[in-house]
Amino acid sequence: MQSEPLPVEPESQLAALRPLVVRTVRLVVGAGSAIAEDAAQDALVELDRALPRLREPAAARAFAVRIATRVAVRAARRERRFALLGLRASAPERLATVRPDDLVELKEAFDRLPPRQRATAVLRLYVGLSEQETADALGCSVGTVKSQLHDARATLTAHLKEGSDD
């Protein structure tokens, strides 16, 4: 995801940051889940309230990523608990109808990763943050970011290998 200079006005900043926030939350919570869309909305509301109070407009993007990540991980954990209880809010609403099979398989395996591993992968590989920026957004060390990403790759590789063996 490309990073572009942000406008100074909070309203314009929110509009510019919306795609980043919405897509980050959606990918961490699980694209296709109604809960992800609700969480994305929650993150936008939180960002809308917080942006006018932000003293350093240049930090708005990092600030938005932190909010999106926090809201998404919280929602993803809640979703996992509900999944354990069999209380998913609704059946996933597919955002796209036709996808190559391997992408769908990878996506399904990705959605089964722990929320923080998903968040790490999204921030590093989709949003394009550095290891340090990812660590700042997640409130953890760079070493943790590396190990989370390593674990995510290993789990996904194992899932896909298992799938291809069947």
Partner 1 sequence: MTDSELHDMLTAFAGPPSPVPRRVRRRATPRTLLIALALVAMCGALVPAASALIHTFFESPKQFVSDTSHPARARALIENYLAHPGGPIRRPTLTGIEPELTVRTPDGRWAVYALRFAGGQVGAATVALDGHAVGGLWAGTTDPCPPGAVVETRGSFVEYPGHTPVYVEGRVSSEVASLEVEESDGRTYPAAIGNGYFLAWITPGPHASKPAGTLIARNARGAQIGAVDVGAGGAIPPSEAEVQPGCG
Q: Which residues bind partner 1 (CB under 8 A)?
A: 18-19, 22-23, 26-27, 31-32, 34, 37-38, 40-41, 44, 82, 84-87, 89, 93, 95-96, 99, 103, 106-107, 109-110, 112, 121-122, 124-126, 151, 153-160, 162
Q: Alpha-carbon torsion 154, 145, 36, 102, what sign?
A: negative
Q: Contact at 8 Å (CB) between 18 and 45?
A: no
Contacts of 127 (CB under 8 A, 6+ apart): 1, 20, 24, 65
Minimum CB–partner distance for residue 136 and partner 1 (Å): 20
Q: Which is nearer to partner 1, 58 or 94 (CB)?
A: 94
Minimum CB–partner distance for residue 31 and partner 1 (Å): 4
Q: Taking Cα atoms as reference points, which of 156, 33, 30, 36 lies closest to residue 102?
A: 156
Torsion of CA 21, 73, 34, 86, to 10 degrees: 180
Minimum CB–partner distance for residue 152 and partner 1 (Å): 8
Minimum CB–partner distance for residue 39 and partner 1 (Å): 9
Q: Contact at 8 Å (CB) between 26 and 96?
A: no
Minimum CB–partner distance for residue 59 and partner 1 (Å): 22
Q: Which is nearer to partner 1, 70 or 107 (CB)?
A: 107
Q: Which is nearer to partner 1, 40 or 135 (CB)?
A: 40
SS3 content of the chain, % helix, strand, coil (to 5): 75, 0, 25
Q: Which is nearer to partner 1, 70 or 112 (CB)?
A: 112
